[in-house]
Structures are given as structure tokens and as C-alpha cells.
């Protein structure tokens, strides 16, 4: 377990060609397909970093910003924003590429939080991430604010479930 840079585990422009069976009834790409692929890729980033089994604990700010259409190419990117004791935030982004014009549109973005688990499925300590570029350092700072919101929300929900 060693500190890693963001670049060491990031995924850039994983491609997915949109075929007719990938569409919803409105003839745009089915959102569930995009969400499933994002979860899978973000998990790869988390497991590359932590070098152990991880599970998704939270997804937030998942926004479908623009539709994508049959024949276009989806470009998926995922990179680690920040690590804490056992949890990590992975930022994801999807662009749609028009193969005829080469034009790119930002269509989806979100934040996935994963927890690294030990052999007994208990949260385990992970190595820190080292942000290098200014953009990575900004994401690292902003991730702390999002974590505070996530934890506050999670505590409220737990209290509600207990009937407090």
C-alpha cells in the first residue's frame, strides 16, 4: 500500500459506440447503461488505488446534461479526487463524440464514493492519493465539502431509520 498519483489510476476516454439496442423510448442513450458503466469504471479506479476490494457507498451529483444519440461514441473518464481513511471519491465524466464531425459534448458527470474492505468486509485503511496538477488540487479541496454533505445526510438518514 503506497501513495499514488491521480494519473496512475485514472481512466481516459474509454469508448462505447451507441447501437440501436442502447436507446430508451425517446431514442436517446439509456441512462441506466451509462450509470452502470460509470460505476464499473469508477470501481476500477478505486481498486487500482487501494489494491483491494471496494464497494460503492454513495453516488452524488449525477447529472445528465445533454442527450446522446445512436451512432455517437461515448467517451468515459474517471479519476480519483480524494482519499480519506477507508473511503475515496472518484469523479466521472462522459462526453459524446459525433463521428462525422469529431465534435465532443459533455453529457454526464457524477461523483462516486467507494469504501475499501478487508477480508471480513470491514472498512480498511487505504493509502493517500497525491494530487499534482492545479485541477487535481482543486478537485481534492472541493471533495472535502462534498464529503461533509454526504456524511451529514447519511447521519440524518440513519437517525430517521432508527426513529429518532
Residue 130's CB is within 10 A of a number of other CB atoms, namely 15
Q: Does 98 bind ligand COA (CB under 6 A)?
A: no
Q: Of residues 85, 106, 137, 149, which one binds ligand COA by CB under 6 A?
A: 85
Q: Of residues 42, 87, 108, 112, which one binds ligand COA by CB under 6 A?
A: 87
Residues in 113-132 at the binding interface with ligand COA, rule: CB under 6 A: 113, 115, 123
Give me the least distance between CB of 71 and ligand COA, in Å please.
32
User: Which residues have C-beta within 8 Å of that of residue 37, sequence separation ≥ 6?
Assistant: 14, 16, 74, 76
Cα distance between residue 127 and residue 51, in whole Å: 9
Residue closer to ligand COA by CB (options 37, 86) is 86
Residue closer to ligand COA by CB (options 13, 85) is 85
Of 61, 40, 37, the closest CA to residue 114 belongs to 40
Of 22, 37, 11, 36, the closest CA to residue 72 belongs to 22
Instruction: Record the cell numbers describing residue 44, joined without a space.
Output: 476500477
Note the residues at the interface with ligand COA (CB under 6 A): 55-58, 84-87, 113, 115, 123, 150-151, 154
Amino acid at each position: 500500500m503506497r501513495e499514488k498519483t491521480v494519473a496512475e489510476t485514472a481512466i481516459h476516454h474509454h469508448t462505447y459506440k451507441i447501437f440501436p439496442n442502447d436507446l430508451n423510448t425517446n431514442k436517446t442513450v439509456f441512462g441506466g447503461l451509462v450509470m452502470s458503466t460509470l460505476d464499473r469504471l469508477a470501481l476500477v479506479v478505486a481498486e487500482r488505488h487501494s489494491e483491494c476490494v471496494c464497494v460503492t457507498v454513495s453516488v452524488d451529483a449525477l447529472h445528465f446534461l445533454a442527450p446522446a444519440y445512436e451512432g455517437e461514441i461515448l467517451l468515459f473518464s474517471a479519476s480519483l479526487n480524494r482519499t480519506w481513511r477507508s473511503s475515496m471519491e472518484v469523479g466521472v465524466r462522459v462526453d459524446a463524440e459525433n463521428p462525422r464531425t469529431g465534435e465532443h459534448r459533455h453529457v454526464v458527470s457524477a461523483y462516486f464514493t467507494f469504501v475499501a474492505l478487508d477480508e471480513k468486509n470491514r472498512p480498511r485503511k487505504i493509502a493517500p492519493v497525491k494530487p499534482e496538477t492545479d485541477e487535481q488540487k482543486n478537485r481534492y479541496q472541493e471533495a472535502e465539502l462534498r464529503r461533509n454533505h454526504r456524511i451529514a445526510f447519511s447521519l440524518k438518514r440513519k437517525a430517521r431509520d432508527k426513529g429518532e
